[in-house]
Amino acid sequence: MTVEWGWFPDHADELTRLTLDHLATAVPAVLLGLLIALPLAVLAHRVRTLRGFLLGASNILYTIPSLAFFVLLLPVTGLTRTTAIVGLTAYTLVVLVRNTVEGLDAVPVKAREASKAMGTRPLRTLLTVELPLALPVIMAGVRVATVMSISLVSVASYIGYGGLGQLFTDGFQRNFPTPVVAGVLLTLLLALVADALLVTVQWLCTPGGAAAPPGRPPSSCGSERDPTMLELLKNLASWLTSSAQWSGPEGIATRVLEHLEYSVLATLAAAVIALPIGLLIGHTGRGAFLAVNLSSFGRALPTVGLVTLVFLAGGLSVWPVYVSLVALAVPVIITNTYAGMAAVDPEVKDAAKGVGLRGHQILWQVELPLALPLIMTGVRLATVQVVATATIAAYVSFGGLGRYVFDGLAQRDLVQVLGGAALVAVLAVLADLALGGLTRLLFRGRPATAR
């Protein structure tokens, strides 16, 4: 694979325009997501009965493949930038709502009681006490959501508003890797600069811290008349329950097995790579800076750009799919494994040393069991991300449930797109539930050690 570096200055104007177009989609999505997430998180924090529903609803949105989600919005918002912004906003909610709830939960009870004793009203307490104290956790969520949105904008290139993602499509269609490399590098640069700016904003806000876009294709997605939601759901039910749809080499059963193969192998490979690194960093305390920055880098890496780049470099094989999925999952598992190990109480480790346990014994008998909840959270999150993203296999002409999404787009068959997205979402939820059950079994098996 040869990269023509002279292409960059020759296309500086185009790269600048696409970068601005990228930001014009990503930034409003994060701001809108924050405006929606804050009241929802406060509601989930104050009304415990709604917490599970709100967090669960945001998690389900995250399991829908982004390309399919954009297409499903077309009958409502049309072939406009609004479609991309609404889709990206929905994806930010899973991070922003959860982080804001956790930040509010972490506010010391004494701080609330002191504010109440002074006669402060609940709204004023929220604005002057709770939100400022929860700001570090909230800002961590904003940083994750921003980097994630910048990475996901590239998928919107299929509806004409993908910013730098248009370079991936251009490079793939012409078998020319240089635009793909440019798109990946600029997307990473945008994400890292945005993350650095948000760190600066957080430091300042924390107490104690000092050109015209190209023409768009006509707004049509299927027939001359967009189907109503009721018609879509009726047709979807027929599509899913048809016996012919489930049989044969291109049937749903075959596609599900292919999707599971990509997802399971990629997640296992990522765990084999990430778990030892995360345990080593957490146990020794060395390399924490690497863990945090690796997580940011992984979130910023555009999956479509990476799979295109590996495909152009290695030719037609399934390896671009696995490389991209593993690269997506590794940072999440490393970060959560390190965080779980770092959260183990130092006094517990000192007590283990006091009874004569050696370093490796402390790791396996004390630190690992106590860190297991966060480690499993990382594995569950990585699994859901991989299952939802494994649709990219169809992008390079392989199978899985993404086949329905991409074939549906090519055939302008919205029902097929919706069916593929629904099946991916169900598969991701089932995988998450299975891992949640496994976590509970692991805890029941080690009660004494965990204490």
Model-wide pTM > 0.85: no
- Tokens 């995360």, located at residue: 278
Please tell me if the domain spanning 1-211 has the same topology as the one spanning 227-451: yes
Query: Sign of torsion, CA 326 328 329 332?
Result: positive
Distances (CA, A) of 117 to 109, 127, 432: 12, 16, 43
E strands, 39-133, in order: none
What are the Cα distances from residue 310, in Å, to 181, 272, 314, 322, 393?
Answer: 11, 21, 6, 10, 12
Q: What is the pLDDT of residue 161?
A: 75
pLDDT tens per residue across span 55-95: 777 777 777 777 777 777 877 787 788 888 998 898 888 88
3-class state of residue 405 by DSSP: helix
Supply the pLDDT for residue 209: 45
Q: What is the pLDDT of residue 294?
A: 63
The pLDDT of residue 27 is 92
Helix 402-411 vs helix 66-77: crossing angle, to nearest 10: 40
Q: Where are the domains of the chain?
A: 1-211, 227-451
Helix (H) or strand (E) holding 165: helix 165-174
The token pair at 97 is 């709502």
Distance CA 37, CA 441 (A): 33
Q: pLDDT, tens digit, for every residue of 84-130?
A: 899 889 888 888 888 888 778 777 777 777 877 787 787 777 777 77
Least confident interval from 12-26, 213-227, 235-249, 359-373: 213-227
Task: State the helix-helix crossing angle for 414-445 and 66-77, rounded to 10 degrees.
Answer: 130
Contact 314, 258 (CB under 8 A): no
Asked if the model's pLDDT at residue 305 lies above 80, the reply is no
DSSP for residue 293: H
Phi-psi region of 400 (alpha: psi -120 to 50; beta: other; left: phi over 0): left
Dihedral, 365, 106, 444, 266 alpha carbons, nearest 10: -80
Band the pLDDT of 198: cuts 50, 70, 90: confident
Tokens of 373: 């909840």
127-136, 175-184, 207-216, 220-229 — most confident range: 175-184
> Taking 50 as the threshold, does the pLDDT of residue 214 lie above it?
no
Q: Which fold has domain 1-211?
A: MetI-like fold (1.10.3720)
User: How many Cβ atoms from other residues are within 10 Å of residue 3's Cβ?
Assistant: 15
Provide the token pair at 260: 């599971």
Looking at residue 323, what is its pLDDT?
Answer: 83
pLDDT tier, 216 (very low <50, low <70, confident <90, very high otherwise): very low
Return the pLDDT at 292.
Answer: 64
Encode 219-285 in three state secondary structure: CCCCCCCCCCHHHHHHHHHHHHHCHHHHCCCCCHHHHHHHHHHHHHHHHHHHHHHHHHHHHHHHHHC
Six-digit token string for 103: 């930040």
Does pLDDT of 30 surpass 80?
yes
**Is the pLDDT at 146 greater than 90, yes or no?**
no
Model confidence at 220, pLDDT cuts 50, 70, 90, reads very low
246 vs 315: which has the higher pLDDT? 246
Higher pLDDT, 203 or 222: 203
CA 228 to CA 234: how far, in whole Å?
10
Query: What's the pLDDT at 446?
Result: 53
Higher pLDDT, 122 or 28: 28
Helix, strand or coil for residue 287?
coil
> With 50 as the cut, is the pLDDT of residue 31 above it?
yes
pLDDT of residue 306: 65
Task: Please check the confidence at residue 224 and state whether its pLDDT lies above 70.
Answer: no
Q: Give 227-256 pLDDT, tens digit per residue.
A: 566 777 788 788 888 888 888 888 888 999
- Which distant-in-sequence residues (6+ apart) come within 8 Å of 378 by Cβ? 278, 332, 333, 334, 335, 336, 337, 340
Calculate mean pLDDT across residues 34-38.
Answer: 91
Mean pLDDT of the chain, nearest integer = 78
pLDDT higher than 70, residue 215: no
The pLDDT, as a whole number, for residue 450 is: 38
So what's the architecture of 227-451 in CATH? Orthogonal Bundle (1.10)
CA angle 411, 415, 417 (to 5 degrees): 65
**Three-point CA angle 188, 308, 255, nearest 5°:** 120
Is residue 12 over pLDDT 80? yes
**For residues 200 and 443, which has the higher predicted lDDT (pLDDT)?**
200
> Which of 3-12, 36-45, 293-302, 439-448 tops mean pLDDT?
36-45
Residue 9 pLDDT > 80: yes
Instruction: Name the one residue in this structure whose structure tokens are 């959501």.
Output: 145
Tens-digit pLDDT profile for residues 380-409: 888 888 888 888 788 777 788 888 887 887
Helix (H, G, I), strand (E, B) or coil at 363: helix
pLDDT of residue 66: 74
**What is the token pair recorded at 220?**
């049509």
More confident residue, 197 or 213: 197
d(CA 15, CA 31): 24
What pLDDT score does 34 carry?
92
